[in-house]
C-alpha cells in the first residue's frame, strides 16, 4: 500500500459492514419488526402539529415567566431554548424546555416540521443555526452562520466552558475516571496520574490539571476528588480496601 495514500480512500474500500452477511428485509427479525411497527397505530398528523404548537407557546410563556428569576441570578448558563424564524429578536419563535441540556440542535425539528418558516429557507429545510445567550439565560437560536450575530444583537456568545456538550463531556469524563479507580483493587498514585491524564486527554480536557496530595505509607492506594471550577483532578491517598 503506498505510504502517501489518503486514509479517506483506504476507508472507502474497507467498509466495516459486510453486506453479503447482513440480514435483509426478508429476514425473520426484519419481518417481525415490520409487523410490530405496522400494527401500531399512526398518529393523526394535523392533531399532533396543532398540539405541538400549543405546547410550544405554553412552554415559551413559562420560559418568559422564569426569566425574571433567572435575570436576578445573573447566570448566563442557558436554561431554555428559543428558536427564531429570522435574526430579528422580535420574530416568530418556538420555545423549548429541554429535558436534557439545551443545545442548538433542538431547533432542527421546528424547522423540519414547519412551525418555523422563513422566506429565504425552503419549507422543511434547516438553515445554518447559531446560538446566543440572552440576559435571561435563554439560548436564542438564530438562522444564520454569521459569527458576529450574537454581538450585533447585544447577546452573549455562549461560553465554551458552559456549553452543554462541554459540561456533559466533563461529567462523562469524571464518571470514566471514577469507574477506573473503583474498578481496581488498589491504584498507586503514579499509575493513577498516568491513566487519569490519558482519560482527560482522550476526552478533550487537555487543559485540566492533576494534583497529588502528599503520599502516606499507610495509604498506598488512590482515591479521586474533582474540583470542576478549577479544572483539577485531585489524587487522594487511600488505604488498601479490606
Partner 1 sequence: MDRRSDRERFEELYRSTYQDVLAYSRRRVSAGDADDVVAETYMVAWRRLEDALGAESSVAWLYRVAYRTISNHRRGARRLMALRRKLRTAPLPRAVSTANQAGDRDEVDRVFDSLERLAPRDQELIRLAAFEGLSHREIAQVVGKTPAAVRTQLYRARARLRTTLLETDGEGR
Indicate the residue among 18 and 90 with the shorter CB distance to partner 1.
Answer: 18
Collect all residues with Cβ–Cβ distance below 8 Å to 124 and sequence separation of at least 6: 111, 112, 113, 114
Q: The cell 500500500 sits on which residue?
A: 1
In the Cβ-directed half-sphere of 2, how many Cα atoms lie within 13 Å?
5
Position 242 contacts partner 1 (CB under 8 A): no
Q: Do the beta carbons of residue 141 and residue 84 sit within 8 Å? A: yes
| Sole binder of partner 1 in the list 65, 72, 100, 229 (CB under 8 A) | 100
C-alpha cell recorded at residue 223: 482515591
Per-residue interface string for the shown chain with partner 1, residues 69-88, x marking contact by CB under 8 A: --------------------
Residue 183 as a binder of partner 1 (CB under 8 A): the answer is no
CB of 189 to partner 1, least distance (A): 25
Q: Is 44 in the site for partner 1 (CB under 8 A)?
A: no
Give the CA angle between residues 157, 160, 165 to the nearest 5°: 115
Q: Among 60, 145, 43, which Cα is nearest to 94's?
A: 60
Q: Which residues bind partner 1 (CB under 8 A)?
A: 1, 6-8, 10-19, 22-25, 29-30, 33-34, 36-38, 40, 42-43, 45, 99-101, 103, 105, 108, 112-113, 124, 126-129, 145, 164-165, 168, 171-172, 175-176, 179, 204
Amino acid at each position: 500500500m503506498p505510504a502517501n495514500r489518503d486514509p479517506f480512500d483506504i476507508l472507502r474500500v474497507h467498509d466495516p459492514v459486510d453486506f453479503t452477511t447482513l440480514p435483509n428485509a426478508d429476514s425473520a427479525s426484519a419481518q417481525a419488526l415490520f409487523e410490530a411497527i405496522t400494527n401500531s397505530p399512526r398518529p393523526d398528523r394535523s392533531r399532533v402539529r396543532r398540539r405541538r404548537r400549543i405546547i410550544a407557546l405554553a412552554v415559551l410563556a413559562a420560559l418568559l415567566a422564569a426569566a425574571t428569576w433567572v435575570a436576578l441570578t445573573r447566570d448566563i448558563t442557558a436554561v431554555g431554548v428559543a428558536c427564531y424564524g429570522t435574526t430579528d429578536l422580535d420574530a416568530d419563535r418556538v420555545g423549548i424546555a429541554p429535558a436534557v441540556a439545551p443545545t442548538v440542535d433542538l431547533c432542527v425539528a421546528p424547522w423540519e416540521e414547519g412551525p418555523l418558516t422563513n422566506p429565504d429557507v425552503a419549507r422543511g429545510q434547516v438553515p445554518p443555526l447559531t446560538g446566543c445567550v440572552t440576559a435571561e439565560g435563554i439560548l436564542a437560536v438564530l438562522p444564520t452562520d454569521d459569527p458576529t450575530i450574537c454581538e450585533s444583537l447585544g447577546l452573549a456568545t455562549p461560553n465554551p466552558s458552559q456549553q452543554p456538550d462541554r459540561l456533559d463531556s466533563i461529567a462523562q469524563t469524571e464518571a470514566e475516571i471514577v469507574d477506573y479507580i473503583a474498578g481496581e483493587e488498589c491504584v498507586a498514585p503514579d499509575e493513577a496520574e498516568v491513566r487519569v491524564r490519558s482519560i482527560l486527554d482522550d476526552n478533550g480536557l487537555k487543559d485540566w490539571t492533576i494534583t497529588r496530595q502528599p503520599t502516606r505509607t499507610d495509604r498506598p492506594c488512590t482515591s479521586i476528588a474533582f474540583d470542576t471550577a478549577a479544572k483539577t483532578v485531585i489524587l487522594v491517598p487511600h488505604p488498601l480496601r479490606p
